[in-house]
Amino acid sequence: MKLVILDRDGVINYDSDQYIKSPAEWRPLPGSLEAIAKLTQAGYKVVIASNQSGLGRGLFDMDTLNAIHDKMHRAVQAVGGRIDAVFYCPHTSDSKCNCRKPKPGMFQRIGGCFNTDLSDAYVIGDSLRDLQPAASVGARSVLVLTGKGEATQAEGNLPEGTLIFSDLAAAVEYILKS
């Protein structure tokens, strides 16, 4: 199965240190929706894996998160793409859960739900915590320099073999040529 796992904030849409708390605050990065459409049209499954601690912090509720994701789904569909699933961790960083990135639980669940080995999957994120679980499940890690990506690159310590691209569109171009 051809599978790409994307972080949401900073990869698909603009990020905010104050969290994305409403559909109005969700704004796609230039070229990100079209990049997802290219993946869809090339036969890839596209899955989102996102920490959403704003839920656990009480900054927004499930109805709001669903509305944000509905806006994202509709925006991707409007340009001919599809997001096959959205996985998220609602817990705060002090939680002992296994689903919050950088722990691998969310990725293990994705592999189980899609009944696939993740060793051929690409995981695209803008922070080290997006890439660490990719390495732990054997997926290919890709850093984009949008969102927190430039700071992540500057900090170093990326998983071995991490590919680096300016944005999601450039990463997708590489994937489609591979």
7 is catalytic: yes
pLDDT of residue 158 exceeding 90, the answer is yes
Mean pLDDT score, 72-98: 96
pLDDT at residue number 110: 98
pLDDT of residue 109 exceeding 90, the answer is yes
pLDDT of residue 149 exceeding 90, the answer is yes
**Is the Cβ–Cβ distance between 110 and 5 less than 8 Å?**
yes
State whether residue 13 is helix, strand or coil. strand
Residue 93: band (very low, low, confident or very high) from pLDDT cuts 50, 70, 90: confident
Of 9, 15, 130, 167, catalytic: 9
Radius of gyration of the chain (CA): 15
**120 marked as binding residue:** no
Is pTM, for the whole model, over 0.85?
yes
Mean pLDDT score, 46-72: 96
CATH of segment(s) 3-177? 3.40.50.1000
**113 marked as binding residue:** no
70 is catalytic: no
**9 marked as binding residue:** yes
